[in-house]
Amino acid sequence: MIPPVRRPRRLRGTPAVRRLVAETRVRPAQLVLPVFVADGIAEPRPIGSLPGVVQHTLDSVRAEASRAVAAGLGGIVLFGVPEPDDKDATGSAGYAESGILNRAIAAVRAEVGDDLVIVADTCLDEFTDHGHCGVLAADGTVANDATVELYVQQAVSQAVAGTHFVSPSGMMDGQVAAIRAGLDLAGFTDVGILAYAAKYASAFYGPFREAVGSSLVGDRRAYQQDPANRREGRLEASLDELEGADILMVKPAGHYLDVLADVAAWSRVPVAAYQVSGEYAMIAAAAERGWIDRDAALLESTTAIVRAGADIVLTYAALELAGWLR
């Protein structure tokens, strides 16, 4: 046998060598932790379909934010869970100063200041009694322009509460431009927009809907993207960048790495990706059954998202990952 000229295995032989030549490196500072804050509960409440994830109280979310700072995470994204009686047709609890989400933003900002990037979910689905992301027209469809007006009101209220970034996730046409104008007119020119730019009507959101107590009947396919469409993801992201988004996001992450790579290849702003509830839950459930190694699968899946081009990863495993990475 003629010895091979190249032996790629030389660069795989030991953990130290593999660390030295790794092409993709995940850092705690690029991880963002999604957190749910519920009204009307006295202590954190576990979410059955998201092992290890809870609905927080205002006190426990402050502690969670402090843990995120200590772990070196880049940020936290806050989702509000109102009491069922507070839901209505327009999602008014989502932009009320006294609403759970705005109180959570204020509590976290008071706790950690500028040591952690605070991102607020800017959408109405948790707060509407019909579970859709906006107000309904007479024919039952989501009224785009009327919904965008409420997103502007919600974004400004979140800026008042102290968020660093608003994060419109409803996939309404023109939402980023309207929110940017609304924030600027209200004097919040330094509040950024992390836009859910390419958000697909995915089957992997199920556990999230349990986490927020969703009232949705039906689906959101008329306004979220068709999973069959790749080019459309780039179109949506390009529109959001042109409208003033500071960060673009692809959601879900793991099953849309092609879309993520497309957006990351041309974007002039940072790109985020969301490892959504179903993606996380599948790993957790398989690990509970002994079918896969939980830690290895979480790290591998996150590495793949960064390898595809994400500068920022939203994941429910952010605190665990940060501990391993450090």
From CA 80, how far away is CA 89, in angstroms rounded? 17
Q: Coil, strand, or helix at residue 257? A: helix
Q: Give the 3-state secondary structure of residue 37.
A: strand
Q: Is residue 199 flagged as an active site residue?
A: yes
In terms of C-beta density within 10 A (0-12 exposed, 13-18 middle, 19 or more buried), how is residue 290 classed? Answer: exposed
Number of other CB atoms surrounding residue 244 within 10 Å = 18
87 is catalytic: no
Question: For residue 216, what are its two tokens?
Answer: 């949705």
Please pick, among 251, 279, 301, 321, the residue that the annotation labels catalytic.
251
- CB 270 within 8 Å of CB 30: no
Q: What is the largest CA-CA distance in the chain?
A: 77
Phi-psi sector, 274: left (phi>0), alpha (psi -120 to 50), beta: beta
Considering the candidates 199, 220, 234, 294, report the single residue annotated as catalytic: 199
DSSP state, residue 142: B
**DSSP string for 80-140:** EE--GGG-BTT-GGGT-TTSHHHHHHHHHHHHHTTSSEEEEEE-STTTBTT--SS-B-TTS
Give yes or no for a cis peptide into 8 (omega within 30° of 0).
no
Phi, psi of 3, rounded to the nearest 5 degrees: -60, 135
Residue type, 97: E
The DSSP code sequence of 166-190 is EEE-S--TTHHHHHHHHHHHTT-TT
Q: Which helix (H) or strand (E) holds 196?
A: strand 192-199
Find residue 111's DSSP bridge partners: none
Q: Catalytic site residues?
A: 199, 251
